[in-house]
């Protein structure tokens, strides 16, 4: 069986996901695309020799009879509208992060999906599929370092495009950490403080870069986070958990050690596409397979909502300079993961 997918937004990641669905993964065919930049949509159709209809807009694509499932890879502020329309059409939808740019927008999605009565939404938090993060999670679950006490992390980009706004360092960049740390620690956030250190002269004048984010979780873990989106030297994602009996760290991406010209060196990546290439592949294959089975397996609309509640609080903390309390509503049973239900019933 083949999942016929319609892609809304054929920019950087939309193009990448079309490439992997067309050339790498099994079980999906891209039958429809749309982009406000029509030339961009045409370029992708031609580059991958797609037998796909180019639609005027996302709403028309979602309504198309032959589109079984929707992929939303347009700009963050447009996600909410397209995810809501997909739910209204009863179609499974993979939405790149963020699910919506505010918690209120995510809540509307959670309510629409719950009213529909079946999970349709997966959010593109691909780090949960990354082998490195999974190994860190496994060490935590196995209790190898005892209970986690402190988490140190950094999210560094070489640079960001001109359209990157001040809020995006939180709602578009640190949102990955906001999701993956909840998942890693199996915990929720209770407070956040955002501190603005000396500003880099190499960041756009409208940006405050870098930023430091201090969070506390319900179990009392302290998170020290750094966001630095014009760090210039590489794409560098760090995560280290200090526990009662040891430390577990995210592995560095594989890179050869070079001895040359009187130097010992290893390369650093510069591009997010390469850094998480395997995680994106595994994530989308899982989405295709579970959607074909009529299930939804990956990060849910609830996870998207939880990350957005935290990112709203980060923005407030950045602007006020105060420690902002975060209160997470209780997760409804509708959003229990299928594996939790199996565990509860004793099925492994």
Ligand X SMILES: O[C@H]1[C@H](O)[C@@H](O)[C@H](O)[C@@H](O)[C@H]1O
Binding site for ligand X (CB under 6 A): 157, 172-173, 176, 229, 272
Instruction: Using the minimum distance from each CB to ligand X, give the nearer residue, 55 or 228.
Output: 228
Encoded one letter per residue, x for contact with ligand NAD by CB under 6 A and - for no contact, window 108-127 reads ----------------x-x-
Nearer to ligand NAD (CB atom), residue 126 or residue 145: 126
Of the pair 84, 168, the CB lying nearest ligand X is at 168
Is residue 97 a contact partner of residue 175, using CB atoms and an 8 Å limit? yes
| Nearest CA among 271, 173, 181 for reference residue 229 | 173
- When CB distances are held under 5 to 8 angstroms depending on the partner's kind, the choice from ligand NAD, ligand X, none that residue 126 binds is ligand NAD
CA 85 to mean position of chain CA atoms: 21
CB under 8 Å to 260, separation ≥6 — which residues?
none
Angle (nearest 5°) at CA 280 between 275 and 284 = 175
Q: How far is the CB of 8 from ligand NAD (least distance, A)?
A: 5
Closer Cβ to ligand NAD, 14 or 225, answer by number: 14
CA-wise closest residue to 58 among 45, 71, 77, 39: 71
DSSP letter string over 97-162?
SPS-SSHHHHHHHHHHHHHHTS--EEE--GGGG-HHHHHHHHHHHTTTT-SEEEEEEEEE-S---T
Closer to ligand NAD by CB, 24 or 322: give it.
24
Number of residues that bind ligand NAD (CB under 6 A): 24
188 binds, among ligand X, ligand NAD, none (CB under 5 to 8 A by kind): none
Question: Could you tell me if 126 and 97 are in contact, meaning their C-beta atoms sit under 8 angstroms apart?
Answer: no
CB of 189 to ligand X, least distance (A): 20
| Residue 155 CB neighbour total at 10 angstroms | 24
Task: Write the burial class of residue 107 (CB in 10 Å: 0-12 exposed, 13-18 middle, 19+ buried).
Answer: middle
Q: How far is the CB of 229 from ligand X (least distance, A)?
A: 6
- State the burial class of residue 297 (Cβ atoms within 10 Å of its Cβ: 0-12, 13-18, 19+): middle
Pick from 3, 5, 14, 326 the residue near ligand NAD by CB under 6 A.
Answer: 14
The pairing of beta strand 69-72 with beta strand 3-8? parallel
Contact between 13 and ligand NAD (CB under 6 A)?
A: yes
Residue 169 binding ligand NAD, by CB under 6 A: no
Contact segment (CB under 6 A) with ligand NAD among 33-41, 48-56, 187-195, 292-300 equals: 33-41
Least gap, CB of 58 to ligand NAD (angstroms):
5
The CA distance from 90 to 84, in Å, is 10
Residue with smaller CB distance to ligand X, 169 or 300: 169
Nearer to ligand NAD, 35 or 312 (CB): 35
CA 71 – CA 33 distance, rounded (Å): 9
Contact partner at residue 34 from ligand NAD, ligand X, none, CB < 5 to 8 Å by partner kind? ligand NAD
User: Are β-strands 236-243 and 247-249 bridged in parallel, bridged antiparallel, or unpaired?
Assistant: antiparallel
Task: Note whether 34 binds ligand NAD by CB under 6 A.
Answer: yes
Q: Which residues bind ligand NAD (CB under 6 A)?
A: 8-14, 34-37, 40, 58, 73-76, 78, 96-97, 124, 126, 172, 272
């Amino acid at each position: 069986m083949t999942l016929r997918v319609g892609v809304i937004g054929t920019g950087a990641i939309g193009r990448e996901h079309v490439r992997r669905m067309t050339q790498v993964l099994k079980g999906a065919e891209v039958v429809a695309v749309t982009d406000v930049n029509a030339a961009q949509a045409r370029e992708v159709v031609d580059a991958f020799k797609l037998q796909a209809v180019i639609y005027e807009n996302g709403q028309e694509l979602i309504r198309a009879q032959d589109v079984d499932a929707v992929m939303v890879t347009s700009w963050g502020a447009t996600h909410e509208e397209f995810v809501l329309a997909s739910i209204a059409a009863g179609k499974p939808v993979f939405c790149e992060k963020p699910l919506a740019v505010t918690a209120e927008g995510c809540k509307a999605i959670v309510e629409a999906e719950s009213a529909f009565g079946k999970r349709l939404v997966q959010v593109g938090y691909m780090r949960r599929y990354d082998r490195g993060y999974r190994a860190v999670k496994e060490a935590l679950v196995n209790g190898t370092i005892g209970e986690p006490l402190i988490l140190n992390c950094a999210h560094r980009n070489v640079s960001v495009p001109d359209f990157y706004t001040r809020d995006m360092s939180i709602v578009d960049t640190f949102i990955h950490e906001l999701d993956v740390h909840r998942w890693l620690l199996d915990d929720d956030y209770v407070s956040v403080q955002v501190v603005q250190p000396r500003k880099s002269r190499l960041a756009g004048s409208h940006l405050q870069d870098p930023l430091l984010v201090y969070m506390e979780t319900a179990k009392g873990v302290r998170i020290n986070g750094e966001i630095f989106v014009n760090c210039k030297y590489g794409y560098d994602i760090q995560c280290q958990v200090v526990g009662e009996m040891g430390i577990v760290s995210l592995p560095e991406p594989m890179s050869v050690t070079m001895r040359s010209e009187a130097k010992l060196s290893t390369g650093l990546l510069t591009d997010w596409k390469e850094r998480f290439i395997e995680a994106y592949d595994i994530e989308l294959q899982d989405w295709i397979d579970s959607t074909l089975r009529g299930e939804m397996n990956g990060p849910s609309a609830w996870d998207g909502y939880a990350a957005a509640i935290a990112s709203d609080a980060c923005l407030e903390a950045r602007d006020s300079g105060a420690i902002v309390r975060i209160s997470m509503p209780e997760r409804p049973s509708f959003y229990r993961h299928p594996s939790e239900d199996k565990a509860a019933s004793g099925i492994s």
